[in-house]
Structure 1
Amino acid sequence: MRSVITRALLVAAGVVTVVFLATAGFLLFSGAAAVSESADQRDAAVVAAVLAVSSNADDVRGTIARTSAGAEGRMSVVLADGTRLGVGGGTPVASVGGAVVSVVPATVPFPFGAVFLVLGIAAVALGVAVWVGHRPFTPVLSALRVLASSTGRRVRLSGPRELEALASSINAATERTSLLMAKEREMIADVSHRLRTPLAALRLDADAVGSGPVAERIRSAVITLGHDVDRIIQALQPEEGEPEGTCDVASVVEARMAFWSAHACDQGRMLEVDVGEPAWVPLAPDALAAVVDALLENVFRHTPAAAPVGVSVVRHAGWVTLVVEDGGTGVADPSSALHRGSSGVGSTGLGLDIARAAAEATGGTIHLERGRLGGARVRLRFGEANSHHSPASPRAWRLWRGHP
């Protein structure tokens, strides 16, 4: 901000300086020309006074020689009998008894010395003007610095009324945001607690089903759901300074695919899994597991039962890429698919929003594309733990250019 003010002051003072120099140069030149013309008028008056009392050529010639204009060869006199004395030409200045006095105007040099002096004074005045001009902006700059350093806390500043009003608006918006977040946490907590009663009933019913592969899958799903509800409740009250932790993406994906492969088998889906080498990212295992479950739940819910599914993990150049793709019909509106609550097709968009938030928490990105299986491909890039990687920008990409 200070540099912007300095440039503005320099431009304004520079324009004033240019106008001042042009005006000063014109006035100095005009003044020198007026002085020269006045001197010529005086010389002509001296010669005219001699002509008034004598028309003797020698007397007049001597008078011309004694004047500045005559000494410079710029004055001439034409007597009444036609005799010309001095250098011919020039502008008639005086006439006495039929004699005419003429003077050639002198060449007036441009006053460069005076202009350079004025230029030096103007340069000094320009520096003083910039220094003095900054003083009225000091309260504004101080208030802006307070605003810039008040991220995450209440803004308290004194300065121009407009900035004080802006600070009040920021405080009001912060309080409103905090209130909305608190209400959202309370709502999620209430919903999570309400889920415990039907979840307990579902667990009892699952235990009563008996034995067999289907019964085991039902019990496994109920246990997973119970863990998810517990994780939601725990996330609502995080401990101060609790580290996020790290996890191996390959291990987490492999563990979750043991659950989802059973569902794929029931629906007759072809499931391709390629987890590759261990790849560690700065996310808690539960957080990454929630991402995998959210993406695969979208696939199983919104694609035909026989549509193939592919899951892969690739580690390269400080990034860990998790790819989930399907052979469905794709995403009708990719431009809004990554916005929570507006993904379409009867979905809230919460799954993609969870995935996006997890990727961006590691400095990564989410990409929504058409995959090699013909449907949607969600590609998450996570920043690898304890590894240098170039910043990813933009963070959310929405690409839909047809089949590759």
Structure 2
Amino acid sequence: MHAWPASEVPALTGQGRDLRIHDTATGALVTLDPGPVARIYVCGITPYDATHMGHAATYNAFDLVQRVWLDTKRQVHYVQNVTDVDDPLLERAVRDGIDWVGLAEKETALFREDMTALRMLPPKHYIGAVEAIPGIVPLVERLRDAGAAYELEGDVYFSVEADPNFGKVSHLDAAAMRLLSAERGGDPDRAGKKNPLDPMLWMAAREGEPSWDGGSLGRGRPGWHIECVAIALDHLGMGFDVQGGGSDLVFPHHEMGASHAQVLTGEFPMAKAYVHAGMVALDGEKMSKSKGNLVFVSALRRAGVDPAAIRLALLAHHYRDNWEWTDQVLADAVARLGRWRAAVSRPDGPSADALVEELREALANDLDAPAALAAVDRWAALQTERGGTDEGAPGVASRAVDALLGVAL
């Protein structure tokens, strides 16, 4: 599966700062110090309705991570998946009377278009669950053969008790885990499981549903968590720098994925930091496909909204915050974009060297995009009120905003 084209990232003079970011597993800020190549895995979409503002906010957060790392002169090895076979996708295809493969391809293509328009840097490896199946099957067999998985009526489940570090990502108690498991794709009430929290690794073929050859597992399809584990281990290995996604993935997805990987490799932890973006609401409720309260990037683009304004609307909120999308949020972003473009369109202005350092400092401090936007606002106000004599300042400011915030002025 191919990703989307990369926009050029301007090179800035000087050196960026190492990223301090909130790690869900420790509940604290950690300073990441990758080697020459920084490694990040971000969980991708299930392509049956893409791309709403909640998606966009999540991928914007991890785009900033990449930009901070690139500014430190590191390479970035970024991997993202597409869950192109899963119950919600199949259910939507049945509901609409369309082929599930065609639905997945259509929505994935739209996602690529949205990411391109928003200037999100693409992953080096963009992998679909279906294409990952040949690598998933041996992992499930290894877990089963090691006694860390068991069969139940043809399905194969992972035993959470096989991992002594289970629970160290979310730090939730059993009752909270069980509740979230039921809400987020698990089946804690299924009879015969060793532990209600045990997640499915391999679902035996069901009538009328797609299935693949699973070797000794029989025909079927993979569970949600093992999909990401197989892709991450194949392309990044253990101990990569950041495991990212929305805060709704902390449990069960990232908790279970960590346990799968840790049992498979005997190493801990799977990732050095677990980083999660907040949720975006509309009309008082979290945007979700099940509720249908969605604002789509593609719909805004069709309505003539500049993608740079959409990105500024996202950047106006700290990535870990939960916030609400409103018409005013977008109007404020459109106005800000106009002020910034007017400021950099002048032939000279006040020095922007300090602005570059302010942007670096803000983003290195747990991706504080609102502080970064405030710094550009201050420079733009000085440019408007007093101007300056530095002929290179507008270009420096424009390149910094592009390189570090992904906004083309």
> TM-score scaled to structure 2, two decimals?
0.17
Structure having the larger proportion of residues in helix: 1
Question: Which of 1 and 2 has greater Rg?
Answer: 1
Which structure carries more relative contact order (alpha carbon 8 Å, separation 6+)? 2
